[in-house]
Chain A
Amino acid sequence: MLDEVKEILSTTLQLGDRVNDMDLDSALLGELPEFDSMAVVAVITAFEDNFDIVVEDDEISAETFETLGSLVAFAESKVS
């Protein structure tokens, strides 16, 4: 899941190879300049398309996007 989420971040935010240096503790929201509201929507849309899930409004919270780890945990919880 970590690799899949990294790949989604890499393509939707055009981060390229920068994702290779990221780990679960890497901060996203408030840290990565690319992580604005459009990025949040792009990532959610990519999650929905890739993992065939539906993300509800109340699941869109700042905590989910805080770190790569929290984002991966969110994806895992939706897919299982």
Chain B
Amino acid sequence: MKVVVTPSFIKSDNGQIFSINYHSPELTNNIGIIHFPAFAEEMNKSRHMAALQARKFAADGYSVTIVDLFGTGDSEGDFSNASWCIWLDNLTQIVEIMKANGVEKLIFWGTRLGSMLAMDLLNSYRKDVSLILLWQPVLKGDVALTQFLRLKIAAEMMSGEKSSTNGLKNKLNQNELIEVAGYQLNSDIANAMQNQHLFDKISANTPPIRILEIVSDVNKSISIASRKFIEKLHEKKIDILIDKVVGEQFWTTPEISLVDELLDKSSIIVNQFSKMR
């Protein structure tokens, strides 16, 4: 199935936002899939997998859009000036464009921290979203922030200096920018991460959620944290399931890695939901 790939720059209040749309002109349903990207270097490392998946979805008839959020990728803006609100605005604009182009139902597809953005955007589009697909979602933003700040601590360890996570967080709270692995982190983004738990964003009104988690070996189980997360939500009768795929954590590996099983299972999940209409 031929897939048409259309890059475009969209004029936003904060500058030009770059996005790529994938769709197949021969077989088009009215379902749009929006990708919510991972954070900082994880986004860069997961681009290839995201593009492969987008093509695969498009070949099955969906209109898929991958966006570079303000200050990232090919979009305008400095990462140091980014904010959670601006990123949600970017994504809102994408959704509106897709709807204007004929999309009637939406699937939100989040990678890592993008999962938090997806759940926040849900507040505006709950009735339109039929499925939330999350790739190894960040469950606790504060943990993700600590791990990100650790890159600075680890880098300083190699050069003999010494910061602490709390010291860095204090600087952020005083509106200082912190440079981490080449990214200028500001207090808005740091606070957004610090205060978000995925669990709190899920309620009885949330559309079905399907999570895919990477494990390194077929005999390994999903993480303890994920298991507890799902169990607590099942106690509240939430429609959420998790499945594992074997592969490398491509958003963090030194070399680009591909996880074919993730591509396959994601497509199966999405196609199952489309049939249920």
Contact = CB atoms under 8 A, between A and B. Distances in A.
Contacts of A7: 216
A58 B223 contact: no
B155 interface: yes
Interface stretch (B8-16, B77-85, B186-194, B253-261): B253-261
Nearest to B45: A38
Contacts of B249: 12
B269 interface: no
Interface residues of B, number: 25
Contact of A57 (B151, B164, B255, B257): B164
Mostly, the A contact residues are helix
B255 A60 contact: no
B153 A60 contact: yes
Contacts of A29: 158
B164 A14 contact: no
A34 B150 contact: no
A20 interface: no
Nearest to A42: B252
- Among B147, B157, B225, B249, the most chain A Cβ lie within 10 Å of the Cβ of B157
Interface of A: 7, 11-14, 29, 34, 36-42, 44-45, 49, 52, 57-58, 60-62
6 contacts: A37-B151, A37-B155, A38-B41, A41-B151, A57-B164, A60-B153
